[in-house]
């Protein structure tokens, strides 16, 4: 697996993903966020016609298996946000999203003091803990939990976030997932 930053928000990168295989595919066509990808195949420097021009992008790039968009916080120059994370449907559960988010956060932390992300389900919460993020204790106005890197007391706050989800109306799969993690420590951090 290889990881690359296609550009920051000012570069206007766009990415066409197959909407049948990727959640949020339409968000990556937008040019107002930076993009990072996880991909297989030849390194980007060895490819011709990369990135594909919009007029040549009738077909999605086949060997991309994950993508994340990001941008600067409008009110805090020291903060960047990961916005949308997607992993190709046939590769979900392989840890690609966690490693990609760790990679993107490492890239952004070179120019920012912190990187944040808001998550709306316990599975994403767990994956972001694997990427080294920790719960801030904050929620967005649409019931997402805010996580950040770097974070203090990552281990102490892990169960706090899970408890927030436990208070919600959950699917059977989510409830079972949370039950399995009762009293546990955060998952081991993955390398980017």
φ/ψ of 106, rounded to 5, equals -60, -45
Helix (H, G, I), strand (E, B) or coil at 116: strand
| CA distances to 49, 97, 178 from 183, in Å | 51, 25, 10
Tokens of 108: 């952004």
> How many residues would you count in the chain?
192
Checking if the pLDDT of 104 tops 60, the result is yes
Q: Are 71 and 83 in contact (CB under 8 A)?
A: yes
Tokens of 73: 């916080």
Q: What are the residue boundaries of the structural domains of the chain, listed by start?
A: 1-112, 116-192
Checking if the pLDDT of 59 tops 90, the result is no
pLDDT of residue 57: 47
Helix (H, G, I), strand (E, B) or coil at 91: helix
Taking the domain 1-112, which CATH number applies? 3.40.630
Helix (H, G, I), strand (E, B) or coil at 72: strand
Checking if the pLDDT of 53 tops 80, the result is no
The span from the CA of 104 to the CA of 35, in Å, is: 9
Least confident of 95-99, 140-144, 172-176: 140-144
Which is it for strands 134-139 and 64-72: parallel, antiparallel or unpaired?
unpaired
The span from the CA of 62 to the CA of 60, in Å, is: 6
List, for residues 158-172, the tens digit of each pLDDT value: 999 999 999 999 899
pTM attached to this predicted model: 0.89
- Closest C-alpha to 104, from 128, 63, 151, 70: 70
């Amino acid at each position: 697996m290889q990881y690359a930053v296609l550009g920051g928000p000012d570069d206007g990168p766009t990415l066409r993903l197959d909407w049948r295989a990727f959640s949020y595919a339409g968000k990556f066509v937008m040019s107002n966020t930076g993009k990072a990808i996880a991909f297989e195949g030849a390194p980007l420097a060895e490819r011709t016609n990369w990135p594909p021009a919009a007029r040549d992008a009738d077909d999605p790039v086949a060997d991309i298996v994950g993508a994340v968009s990001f941008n600067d916080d409008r009110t805090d120059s020291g903060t960047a946000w990961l916005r949308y994370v997607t992993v190709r449907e046939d590769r979900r559960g392989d840890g690609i999203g966690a490693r990609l988010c760790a990679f993107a956060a490492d890239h952004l932390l070179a120019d920012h003091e912190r990187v944040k992300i808001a998550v709306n389900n316990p599975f994403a919460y767990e994956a972001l803990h694997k990427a080294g993020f920790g719960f801030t204790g904050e929620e967005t106005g649409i019931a997402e939990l805010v996580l950040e890197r770097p974070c203090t007391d990552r281990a102490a706050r892990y169960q706090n976030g899970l408890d927030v989800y436990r208070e919600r109306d959950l699917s059977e799969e989510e409830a079972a997932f949370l039950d399995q993690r009762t009293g546990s420590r955060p998952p081991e951090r993955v390398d980017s």
